[in-house]
Amino acid sequence: MSDELYVATSGAISRLTQLEAVANNLANAGTAGFKADRAIFHTALESALLDSKERPTQGVPGQAFVETQQILSDQSPGSTSDTGNPLDVAIDGPGLLSVETPNGVRYTRGGSFRLNANAQLVTQNGFPVLGESGPIEVGKRPVRILHDGSIVDDREQKLGKLRIEEFDDPRRLQKLGANLFLAPPQAVGVPTDNPALIEHSLEGSNVQSTREMAELLILQRAFDANIQVMRSQDQSMERLIQEVSQ
């Protein structure tokens, strides 16, 4: 296989990864608290790349390829809108809300909550929202969330307080489905003592649809260009084989 084909293939794979990230961003442009994904790439010398059998790839030593290093979440805040719902809340600044899932504690910026049949405060997917002492049970009286994260009923009786954690590098958080993040062992969260919240409001996604659409078009053209190079190299190889076999 020629060096040009290796380079074009690595470029096509990287562009495809980037296309998937951008497409996912656009699909979640309307999801409250969603954070856009950004693909990070770097060049890799051929000697650092291994094939499926863990052997160095063939070709000219020192040839540079493109490799996907990682996909990080852009943790910049989205715009805030007033919903009028007393159970909606947006974080004004850093930090993430803590929720309990069957697989353990997870984190989110999506503050659209509701009450389940057991009078627990839960996410729209039914995961219990965690307070300072565990899941928050509010009883049968109307409740609302205050700017400091406290949950009070219509008698102003405090029923709990949202557990909000901050991370020194939120980019280390691993994005899961259902608008949730997983904190790996190296990402240590610290509970926020004095959170700043915006009542009956939601933080929108930080996806800029116009930018993402423009990037999608550019990536599609770059991907097609890599595919054209791969086809050209394949055709050249086919002609060479035919000439040699005659």
What pLDDT was estimated at residue 60?
A: 43
What is the rounded average pLDDT of the residues 207-229? 89
- List, for residues 71-111, the tens digit of each pLDDT value: 888 889 999 999 999 999 999 999 999 999 999 999 999 99
Residue bearing the bigger pLDDT, 143 or 17: 143
pTM of this structure: 0.76
CA dist 69 and 95 (Å) reads 26
- List, for residues 148-205, the tens digit of each pLDDT value: 999 999 999 999 999 999 998 887 888 888 899 999 888 888 998 889 999 999 999 9
What pLDDT was estimated at residue 43?
A: 56
Burial annotation 78-92 (CB, 10 A radius, 16+ → b, else e) = beeeebebbbbbbbe
CA dist 239 and 60 (Å) reads 22
Domain ranges of the chain: 3-75+207-245, 80-203
Structure tokens at 204: 């929108």
Grouping H, G, I as helix, E, B as strand and the rest as coil, residue 42 is strand
Q: Is 171 exposed, middle or buried (0-12, 13-18, 19+ CB in 10 A)?
A: middle
What one-letter code names the amino acid at 37?
A: D
HSE (side-chain half, CA atoms, 13 Å) at 130 = 18
Q: Quick check: 45 pLDDT over 50? A: no
CA terminus-to-terminus distance, the chain: 21
pLDDT bucket at 47, cuts 50 / 70 / 90: very low
What pLDDT was estimated at residue 198?
A: 96
pLDDT bucket at 42, cuts 50 / 70 / 90: low
Residues 6+ away with beta carbon under 8 Å from 94: 166, 170
What one-letter code names the amino acid at 105?
A: V
What pLDDT was estimated at residue 181?
A: 94
Q: Angle, nearest 10°, between helix axes 209-245 and 3-27?
A: 150
pLDDT bucket at 140, cuts 50 / 70 / 90: confident
